[in-house]
């Protein structure tokens, strides 16, 4: 079993310390414009040394990317602290650009740390001996993509859409565009305090700060979820994420995003020329839901409502959201959590 003690690499002065239970978190440097691509060595040193003072034990890999793996982990001899997700980026000295992208991701997640529908970030440490950077985050049971094998039904699609709109409203207020919004980057868990089902936006590796509704220029993200204005290279802003939310709704309704039956090039062409695809079995969904989806799938971003405007739509501005029986969904999540944690074939 692998383990590491996360400790400071140098002393910090004049910093706020925020107490979460008995977990002390040091605040990173003042949030900055994430469009700036490079950081100084001193800024990076400061950013990568805000640790949790515990020994973590890795349990198993729960996610993989091009440059990093995400591990399920827990604190040694402190099972009462529950589980954490630790993103470990390897060979960082050989990939300086990756380090700068990770620094940008950390700053943005720090900015969003207290939002209920965004995965909580705790601390980061550069472990020089292993040439790794460890990023400690909130653990969630599964991704929304994992739940698409079953029939969510309109009530859960509405609940999850409402919560994700709250996350996107917060990002828009801070001029942040996620740029990789899809079901695989939406995580699900049962909230310990309220006992409610929560979805949380994760993976800010491609996120940036924009200066206006058309100031984003780089074409990036996952092709089936890209907004028309991004594909047409017309400039984009926070409303590009709303189009992607529509695609996530499409996934929840139809198990896959629009035009997923085509190759990605043809799907992008159809998105630009035709807008969103038609839902199969449209009779399953209410008129209000169709109206909401039509609003979010406006090809012209100027005609597309903002997140705050969409939160006023009667489909999500609905008292039924607060009177739901979650017992069946909790059973599904408990089963997913049990299988993940006790799959010893992938124990590290």
Q: How many CA atoms lie within 13 A of 98 on its CB side?
A: 15
Residue of 180, 203, 325, 343 marked catalytic: 180
Most confident of 45-49, 75-79, 258-262, 318-322: 258-262
Distance (Å, rounded) from C-alpha 34 to C-alpha 110? 12
- Given a cut of 50, is residue 42 above it in pLDDT? yes
Structure tokens at 262: 């085509």
- Given a cut of 50, is residue 1 above it in pLDDT? no
pLDDT reported for residue 288: 97
- Given a cut of 80, is residue 329 above it in pLDDT? yes
Which helix (H) or strand (E) segment is 275 a member of?
none
pLDDT reported for residue 184: 94
Residues 143-154: what's their mean pLDDT?
88
Residues contacting residue 11 through CB under 8 Å, at least 6 positions apart: none
Write the CA distances from 331 to 197, 201, 271, 338, 342, integer angstroms.
Answer: 11, 22, 37, 11, 16
| Residue-wise pLDDT tens digits, 171-183 | 999 999 999 999 9
Residues 216-226: what's their mean pLDDT?
88
Residues contacting residue 53 through CB under 8 Å, at least 6 positions apart: 6, 7, 24
pLDDT reported for residue 265: 93
**Terminal alpha carbon distance of the chain:** 5
Quickly count: other Cβ atoms within 10 Å of residue 146's Cβ. 17
pLDDT reported for residue 24: 32
Structure tokens at 229: 């204005």
CA torsion 324→327→329→332, rounded to 10°? Answer: 180
State the residue for tokens 């469009």: 35
pLDDT reported for residue 31: 38
| Stretch among 36-40, 181-185, 223-227 having the lowest mean pLDDT | 36-40
pLDDT reported for residue 212: 74
- Given a cut of 70, is residue 64 above it in pLDDT? yes
Structure tokens at 34: 């994430």
The answer to whether the beta carbons of residues 62 and 85 sit under 8 Å apart is yes
Distance (Å, rounded) from C-alpha 32 to C-alpha 36? 8
Percent of the chain clearing pLDDT 90 (strictly above) = 50
CA torsion 68→72→78→82, rounded to 10°? Answer: 120
pLDDT reported for residue 17: 30
120 known member of a binding site: no
| Residue-wise pLDDT tens digits, 237-283 | 999 999 999 999 999 999 999 999 999 999 999 999 999 999 989 99
pTM of the model: 0.83
Q: How many CA atoms lie within 13 A of 53 on its CB side?
A: 9
CATH class of 3-138: alpha beta
Average pLDDT, the chain: 82
- Given a cut of 50, is residue 23 above it in pLDDT? no
The answer to whether the beta carbons of residues 293 and 252 sit under 8 Å apart is no
- Give the residue extent of every domain in the chain: 3-138, 142-328
Distance (Å, rounded) from C-alpha 216 to C-alpha 238? 9
Choose among 117, 88, 109, 87: nearest CA to 27.
109
The answer to whether residue 343 is catalytic is no
State the residue for tokens 């909790």: 330
CATH of 142-328, one of 3.60.60.10, 3.20.20.100, 1.10.510.10, 3.30.930.10: 1.10.510.10
Choose among 210, 206, 154, 201: nearest CA to 182.
201
Quickly count: other Cβ atoms within 10 Å of residue 183's Cβ. 23
Band of pLDDT at residue 41, cut at 50, 70 and 90:
low
Residues contacting residue 200 through CB under 8 Å, at least 6 positions apart: 116, 117, 118, 119, 120, 138, 140, 167, 186, 187, 188, 189
pLDDT reported for residue 114: 92
The strand pairing partners of 24, in sequence order, are: 19
Band of pLDDT at residue 40, cut at 50, 70 and 90:
low
State the residue for tokens 């924009």: 210
Distance (Å, rounded) from C-alpha 262 to C-alpha 244? 18
pLDDT reported for residue 14: 32
pLDDT reported for residue 49: 65
pLDDT reported for residue 43: 66
């Amino acid at each position: 079993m692998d383990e590491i003690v996360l400790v400071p690499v140098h002393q910090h002065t004049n910093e706020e310390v925020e107490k979460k239970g008995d977990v002390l978190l040091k605040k990173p440097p003042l949030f900055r414009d994430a469009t700036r691509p490079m950081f100084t060595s001193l800024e990076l040193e400061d950013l990568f040394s805000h640790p949790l003072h515990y020994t973590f034990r890795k349990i198993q890999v729960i996610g993989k990317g091009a440059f990093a793996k995400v591990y399920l982990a827990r604190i040694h001899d402190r099972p009462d602290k529950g589980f954490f997700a630790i993103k470990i980026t390897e060979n960082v000295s050989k990939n300086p650009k990756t380090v700068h992208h990770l620094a940008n991701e950390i700053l943005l997640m720090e900015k969003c740390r207290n939002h209920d529908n965004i995965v909580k970030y705790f601390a980061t440490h550069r472990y020089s001996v292993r040439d790794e950077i460890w990023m400690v985050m909130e653990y969630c049971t599964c991704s929304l993509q994992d739940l698409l094998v079953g029939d969510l039904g309109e009530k859960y699609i509405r609940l999850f859409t409402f919560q994700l709109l709250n996350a996107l409203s917060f990002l828009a207020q801070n001029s942040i565009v996620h740029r990789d919004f899809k079901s695989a980057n939406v995580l699900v868990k049962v909230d310990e305090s309220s006992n409610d089902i929560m979805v949380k936006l994760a993976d800010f590796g491609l996120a940036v700060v924009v200066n206006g509704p058309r100031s984003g220029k780089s074409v990036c993200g996952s092709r089936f979820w890209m907004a028309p204005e991004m594909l047409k290279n017309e400039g984009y802003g926070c409303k590009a994420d709303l189009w992607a939310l529509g695609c996530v709704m499409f996934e929840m309704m139809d198990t896959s995003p629009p035009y997923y039956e085509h190759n990605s090039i043809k799907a992008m062409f159809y998105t630009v020329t035709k807008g969103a695809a038609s839902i199969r079995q449209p009779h399953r969904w209410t008129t209000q839901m169709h109206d909401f989806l039509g609003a979010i799938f406006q090809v012209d971003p100027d005609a597309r409502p903002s997140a705050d405007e969409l939160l006023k739509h009667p489909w999500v501005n609905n008292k039924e959201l607060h009177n739901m029986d979650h017992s069946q969904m909790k059973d599904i999540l408990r089963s997913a959590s049990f299988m993940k944690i006790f799959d010893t074939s992938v124990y590290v």
